[in-house]
Amino acid sequence: METIRILLDTSAYIAFLKGHPGVKQAIQKADEINLNPMVLGELLAGFMKGRREARNREILQEFMESPRVRLRAIDEETSERYAAIFTYLRGKGTPIPTNDLWIAATAMQFGLRVVTTDRHFQQVPQIIAELHE
């Protein structure tokens, strides 16, 4: 039986909190749920702009404490993959947001499926994107 390993995009984490059925199912089925520092930073920045910062941080902390959840570091190998994806997309004239390039590079490095609500991840042939609109 295949181990299901996913990387949550920021949009997917937010959709999960809002009860999106497809994202919720993807998370429930996953054996391993990954985030990277870009996703964490985007979430924290969003929390700081809102009125429920403390509560949102608590919910995220509980989520991160699950034994199925891992925070993947960005390292030299991730940077190489970032550069490859960036160069490919720039050459095609289809750039995506910088943080999403880092998310894609992390997925590529660790062989993770990106769970997202953002279509532009489908432009990255080096990864598998699971789109939930």
- The tens digit of pLDDT for each residue in 111-125 reads 999 999 999 999 999
Read off the pLDDT band of 1 (50, 70, 90).
confident
% of the chain residues with pLDDT over 90 = 97
State yes or no: pLDDT of 102 exceeds 90: yes
* Structural domains present in the chain: 5-131 (3.40.50.1010)
Q: What is the pLDDT of residues 37-63, one digit of tens each?
A: 999 999 999 999 999 999 999 999 999
Largest Cα separation within the chain, whole Å, is 43
- If you ran DSSP here, which 8-state letter would residue 73 be given? P
State yes or no: pLDDT of 2 exceeds 90: no
Please say whether the beta carbons of 47 and 63 come within 8 A.
no
The alpha helices in 1-133, defined as continuous H runs, are: 10-17, 21-29, 37-49, 53-64, 76-92, 98-110
pTM of the model: 0.94
Alpha-carbon gap, residue 133 to 131, rounded angstroms = 6
